[in-house]
Amino acid sequence: MSAIAQTAPDRLITTYLHMTDPAHFRPAFTGDHRAAIRRMERPDVAFYRFLYGEVGQEWRWRDRLLMSDAEIHDLLAQPNTTVYVLYVDGTPAGYVELNKQGDETEIAYFGLRAGYRGSGYGKHLLSYGIAQAWAGGARRIWLHTCNLDSPHALDNYLKRGFSIHHVDDRPMPARYS
């Protein structure tokens, strides 16, 4: 486990980003034929927990760990929730979760498992999620990241065309300590 996950900072700095025009989107797809992205077609709570745990463990993701299996199932069964899984050589490498809210789409969760970071798969998967959101009729795509996420997350979002619209700085919540 990295030093990031061992000691939490004293402050939680959350950066909110959005993209309001598809012309701002700068995709970065990989040409790696080993990578394939598939939609999770039916709610699979155990698989979702695996993805969430593997992707978020190092970054102290906690929110979905506090939810019951029934709550996660209900969330995944919602027609406005879509999960796309990145596979590399047939192995799950990460996922992007979209939550459509009217004409806005939130990238609720996005990330890669540790062994797949630094290979261009993150920008590929993010680009795919953004493209799906625009194709689904979004007029605005938004997300947030924080200083507990990958140190490369914010840069990836900015390079794909997101812009910062708000930054929140508060004491670190106890659940992340």
Q: In what order do the strands lie in the sheet with 163-171?
A: 35-39, 81-88, 91-101, 104-112, 140-146, 11-19, 163-171
pLDDT in the model for residue 9: 84
Q: What is the pLDDT of residue 173?
A: 83
What's phi and psi for 173, nearest 5 deg?
-60, 145
pLDDT at 5: 45
* Partners of 14 in the β-ladder: 146, 168
Level-2 CATH architecture, domain 3-176: 3-Layer(aba) Sandwich (3.40)
Q: What is the pLDDT of residue 172?
A: 87
Which residues, in sequence order, are CB contacts of 134 under 8 Å at separation 6+? 22, 25, 141
Q: Could you report the average pLDDT of every consecutive run of 10 residues in the chain (177 residues)? A: 56 95 97 96 96 89 90 97 98 98 96 94 97 97 91 94 96 79
Predicted confidence at residue 161, as pLDDT, reads: 98
What are the extents of the domains in the chain?
3-176
Q: What is the pLDDT of residue 135?
A: 97
Quote the pLDDT of residue 6. Answer: 52
What is the pLDDT at residue 93?
98
